A and B are shown apart, each in its own frame.
Chain A
């Protein structure tokens, strides 16, 4: 019995890991783009981006999940009732039919991108202006300065806050069960419902602990790797 539960929970923890992995994959670059937007010298753009970040960070992730889960369907039925049908409506129709895991990945990616964008912004703005100027007087382009000078210093600065946020993401994935993503917590709750077993729910903690422990080791390793220089 115990082994069965362990294996079964592990299978569902893989769903958790998928949500975690894809969210990171999409939210990191998206976060960088959002941070550039919020630092843009074009005021209307930076204003819009800041409002967006405020809305996303200012509302519960659970609410956003539910919106992404039900929103497309509501839009489509409203459009159909109004006799509208175009590529736009079709896009939402597909979104509505999508696997809830996909919906969760979209909502999580947008949510985490906004948190990451603020960390990135802090990291970029924390690099002394003299670094950029030193690159400029050597004749480097803005892109070269960002990728060859600023980026590495920014990465070093943001490792501690990023590790915090990423470990939070591991545990936040459990929210996805509200939109029927069959991840580990939900699987454990099934044991309560079906078999009257409570302990599997508590046992899920072991998976989370093991995985966040692994991540902690990884971040320690990265920090150590980057300790050859000071910023």
Chain B
């Protein structure tokens, strides 16, 4: 049984079907990148994993544990949803740091409120994570004093503070100036080297190629193609994939 298994996820918003039967699996320590054009359902899939959206149907397992079963989703209580969420971390496109808290407090807030240890333990761990994303000097700064790239690195530390099994990134560099994307991507690459399991929705093709074990190309709510970076980027089988890659790798 794989680390994460998603079976036949469906999701509609009103009459618009956004996810039309998504299935995929992920082993511990693997990194999957999801690519595809806007509106293909990439973000919705991540939001379903983090229970920000409830799928209409399908199943989600982590380490053999059923987190979601479309057949009895009504039984899902708030408390269970919160517990399920802790298996996943999510880094947002727009960072969503808490503006009224310093860098350190942003990272410490959730572990403190959910009593994940003594104050000292939590603070020590937060300091380590902040060091890991290279922001020790900014530990007492507030989000409004940081660049976008720095804010996103804090957001990564904040997500890691809750020890998620799987860390999800929703276009983590799309809101950044081009010269700031590198610092964020380097942090994500560092996490891969430490063996973190990650799902990255991205438009950075070069990055996806270098860091991923598997690439998923999504189009119109289905997984159009899945394979190793070589398979997808060198030998795409589907016409849609070829077309998408041609457009996104086009040099102007």
Contact = CB atoms under 8 A, between A and B. Distances in A.
Interface of A: 128, 130-131, 133-142, 144, 148-149, 152-153, 156, 228-231
- B78, B89, B92, B113: residue with the most chain A Cβ atoms closer than 10 Å: B113
A229 B109 contact: no
Contacts of B97: 134
A136 B110 contact: no
B52 A138 contact: no
B98 A130 contact: no
B96 interface: yes
Interface string B99-117: 1100000000110011000
Given A137-B159, A138-B159, 11 more contacts: A134-B97, A134-B98, A136-B52, A137-B52, A137-B90, A138-B162, A139-B114, A141-B82, A156-B100, A229-B143, A231-B99
B144 interface: yes
Contacts of B98: 131, 134, 149
A148 B51 CA distance: 21
A133 B52 contact: yes
B24 interface: no
A141 B96 CA distance: 17
B96 A131 contact: yes
B233 interface: no
**Cβ-closest 7 pairs across A and B:** A138-B110, A134-B96, A130-B96, A230-B144, A137-B90, A229-B99, A152-B100
Interface in B143-195: 143-144, 158-159, 162
B158 A138 contact: yes
Contact of A137 (B50, B83, B94, B100): B50
A139 B85 contact: yes
Contact of A139 (B83, B92, B96, B99): B83
Contact of A130 (B94, B144, B159): B94
Contacts of A230: 99, 143-144
Contacts of A141: 78, 82
Contacts of B86: 139
B88 interface: yes
Contact of B88 (A137, A149, A152, A153): A137
Contact of A140 (B50, B92, B114): B114
Contacts of A131: 96, 98
B142 interface: yes
A215 B17 CA distance: 54
A114 to B, nearest CB: 28
B143 A140 contact: no
Contact of A134 (B82, B92, B113, B114): B92
24 contacts: A130-B94, A130-B96, A131-B96, A134-B96, A134-B97, A135-B110, A136-B51, A136-B85, A137-B85, A138-B85, A138-B110, A138-B159, A140-B114, A141-B78, A141-B82, A144-B113, A148-B113, A149-B98, A152-B100, A229-B99, A229-B144, A230-B99, A230-B143, A231-B99
A140 B96 contact: no
Nearest to B99: A229
A228 B142 contact: yes
A131 B158 CA distance: 13
A139 B82 contact: yes
A156 B100 CA distance: 10
Given A134-B92, A152-B100, A139 B142 contact: no
A131 B159 CA distance: 14
A153 B101 CA distance: 11
Contacts of A128: 96
B66 to A, nearest CB: 18
Contacts of B114: 139-140
